[in-house]
Structure 1
């Protein structure tokens, strides 16, 4: 019992340290205007040398089974299916073609330039580092107003290449155990089964959950159900010997499209808030854990190589991976543009956008978990290169995440792709159509009601008319409408703040209970959220 209590307290200390790190360094990252994944990795790296911070080994099973499903599901939820479908060829070139090219390039390089890694061990290393992590890249892209097409490609690639990277890892381990590569037919058959079966499992689960959603309209229950779904999809995919990753992605895409019809407004607000907090915490813990792995990485490699040799290996491999990505991405996107023109698609990736996509090949926790999952014994013999593979992977993560993550804003600005924020033509047109239909509905209802409550109709119609004029083409009327709308918003927010102050004062004076305050406060918060300005 005592030992169990001590283990529980140790676990509590670990969780507390990780949560404090996430909260504290995320605030620092916000102040510095640096993506929080980069700050957390560097903070974990520095703190890993402190005797007062508990050493926390990275368990690959923890990453694959606990962290990966909800993070994939949350990412898939925000992806637009239309853009995902339109970018299918580009994503295939990056998530399949680039992964294979990276594995082959690393294997060839290792066999020729590193004596400790032969072609087979190099193939395994290539499989480990072939998957990218777009969290830091897309966070910078959103902040700087990178074109939405680039963000869609980066997010889609990071969702799909996890599956192909894990397949490459499976082949690499089989190569070391059996001594030969599977035939092309065997490889294609396995890849096809992984993709098709994973998609089918995810879509079937999505259909079942979508049917259940018709009978549920409870915020807390919906939050719990939304957390169950990604784990169920991942486990079902793995049980079917298919890709659990693709099962989660397929389920997330399906549920995201259906959520507009089966979530009530109140439930949607609760679920979105819960998931934003959860994905932030999970992402933060994951990147903090990466930095905290330094003692374990050094412990496995220390004594076998000099510091200079290790630094050279890490730098050279990182530079090679960046070069391999650029060499593949630029012609691949040109090919995708050519195929797109033949299909009649108008959207194409410019040369500047291709450079940004090529520069965002950051590696993350999935690569490190894959490296740590490499067994120490293969065919009952010690696998000597394992520790070097773990070290090189850790070095690649640090170099690509920190170097590329910190330089990405400068690259975006230098290429003239920054500052494209605000409302795009498609969003503007959608808002105009929606407002016009709302006005048509209100006018028809006013006509049916006659003079009864006509003042209420006029008040609502006037607000909708001002919002429509703010989206118009007439600059004079548009400017006047925007100015009027901003005045209404400013006055309304001031009135709401006065209401909130009055409620707090009455609570402090004992005239109302905290329950009454919270009930009215939630209504005021929801009303004030309507007045959040969006630049047009």
Structure 2
């Protein structure tokens, strides 16, 4: 009976979280505010309601359950070409900035926070070294921020989880043993962490990609895609390498291979399922951050003066933002200098540099890292643990809410908000693909019968209308073709709606079954999606 009651309690808790995520995500969409910010604030507000159940944040839940699929999903959407092109600036942020943040926080804590010394400050810096770019990139994409900046932010958030967790490992060793690894030992550990994690992830990606070639079953491949990130993470952790980098490497590789190993039908199913799951996990994570306030306050109450703690939190947050801004400027200068030496045209402007510096938001990884700090070290109670958790919580709120809400204004003020439509290289790719399709049709219609020739002419005409939409043709003929294609799209959508209304009416009248309706509806949905992305 007790186990059944506990299961019902878990069911109610999960149901509550999902309902809250869906409800506040709708509100965020209405307010045109990134949903992570709304969910964090909603979680904070809900803690004041009577009878609101307390939902603790277990660090194992974050690192083992939430982190692998979210990393895998993020890696899947990253462009390998752009990631490689921006590797220098990404590495300087994911490795150099992490080290600079740890050192800066340790120095600041030792000098300005009475309750912390240099060692506990080092641990606090390791906890706060990782950024969460989900909110930043969601705003950036919506406002049309240059794709290069979005790529840099996404790349940094993928890699700095690994270096931040390594810094946490060093911080715990510093408190337990009283010293840090030597430069050689620390470098060797970092190299093994990176090389081992990347190697395990790539190996797993190669094996899975080869296996996928023999499978063409949507449900089976979807289940397999859910297993892969957890398997990669656990394999990396078992090898004492970076499970984070193993997931990232595997995700990047599988994303590159997906165009070859997945059939179109399977790819549609997997992408749709992963979009829903990623949104759900992200939503739960950010809601859980806000719901942690009672636990944070319970741990710190009575140990320190609350107003002094708020002052510490505010000053500490400003310091962390300043450390990032200080590091980003020379890192960008070095990147631009190297690009100039290599005769590359890529150049990060001062305005873009400020945006990169302003998007150092902290999230659930930082909070989970704070909770993972042991309560006792060497058999002695670690008194600074509650303060570390409180300061981490303050930094997350300040950086996520303050920076997240001001980022749209910052982007617009700096004149970086661009068009959100089709990018030049997408336009060029569509144009070349359509021209190649036209060449194929022109060659294959030769020698066909009159009836088939008419069908080919009709198909060629459709492709020419689509091509006119993307070509820069100011002639009257070109403009007319583009207008014809737009009218064709409107007419096609109207025809599809007429088909849809008809089959729904037939189902309602009992002329066809629901199963037949779903089969016909799927064909209509796929056909309509073609016009939606055109």
TM class by shorter-chain length? over 0.9
2:526 counterpart residue number:
526
Indicate conservation of the 8 Å contact 1:147/1:420, yes or no: no
2:353 counterpart residue number:
354
2:286 counterpart residue number:
287
Q: How does 1:109-508 map to 2 (within 5 A)?
A: 109-476=108-475, 477-508=477-508
Deviation, 1:49, is: 2.4
| Count of equivalent residues | 533
Deviation, 1:452, is: 5.0
Indicate conservation of the 8 Å contact 1:49/1:295, yes or no: no
Deviation, 1:425, is: 2.0
2:32 counterpart residue number:
33
1:517 counterpart residue number:
517
Deviation, 1:467, is: 1.4
Deviation, 1:268, is: 0.7
Say if 2:22 is the partner of 1:23: yes
Indicate conservation of the 8 Å contact 2:146/2:418, yes or no: no
Structure 1 residue matching 2:37: 3-state secondary structure: helix
Structure 2 residue matching 1:449: 3-state secondary structure: coil
Residues in 1 aligned to 2:383 and 2:527: alpha-carbon distance in whole angstroms: 63
Residues in 2 aligned to 1:158 and 1:275: alpha-carbon distance in whole angstroms: 19
Deviations 1:432-479 (A, max 9, x none): 111111111111110143535111101111111111122222223443
Q: How does 1:8-19 map to 2 (within 5 A)?
A: 8-19=7-18
Structure 1 residue matching 2:445: 3-state secondary structure: helix
Indicate conservation of the 8 Å contact 1:471/1:478, yes or no: no
Deviation, 1:35, is: 0.3
Which has the higher mean CA deviation after the structures are superposed, 216-225 or 447-456? Answer: 447-456
Residues in 1 aligned to 2:90 and 2:495: alpha-carbon distance in whole angstroms: 49
Structure 2 residue matching 1:470: 3-state secondary structure: helix
Deviations 1:231-257 (A, max 9, x none): 000000001000000000000000000
1:104 counterpart residue number:
103
Which has the higher mean CA deviation after the structures are superposed, 506-515 or 387-396? Answer: 506-515
Which has the higher mean CA deviation after the structures are superposed, 123-132 or 451-460? Answer: 451-460
Deviation, 1:5, is: 0.7
Residues in 1 aligned to 2:39 and 2:252: alpha-carbon distance in whole angstroms: 29
Deviations 1:288-323 (A, max 9, x none): 000000010001000111221111011011100110
Residues in 1 aligned to 2:293 and 2:496: alpha-carbon distance in whole angstroms: 51
Residues in 2 aligned to 1:420 and 1:518: alpha-carbon distance in whole angstroms: 38
Deviations 1:265-301 (A, max 9, x none): 1111100000000000000000000000001000100
Residues in 1 aligned to 2:322 and 2:214: alpha-carbon distance in whole angstroms: 52
Deviation, 1:344, is: 2.4
Q: Using structure 1 for the length normalisation, give the TM-score.
A: 0.98
Residues in 1 aligned to 2:325 and 2:277: alpha-carbon distance in whole angstroms: 34
Which has the higher mean CA deviation after the structures are superposed, 216-225 or 45-54? Answer: 45-54
Residues in 1 aligned to 2:261 and 2:422: alpha-carbon distance in whole angstroms: 27
Deviation, 1:516, is: 0.8
Deviation, 1:53, is: 1.9
Q: Which runs of 5+ in 2 are unaligned?
A: none
Structure 2 residue matching 1:473: 3-state secondary structure: coil
Indicate conservation of the 8 Å contact 1:233/1:248, yes or no: yes
Indicate conservation of the 8 Å contact 2:371/2:389, yes or no: yes
Q: 1:350 to 1:314 in 2, by over 3 A?
A: same
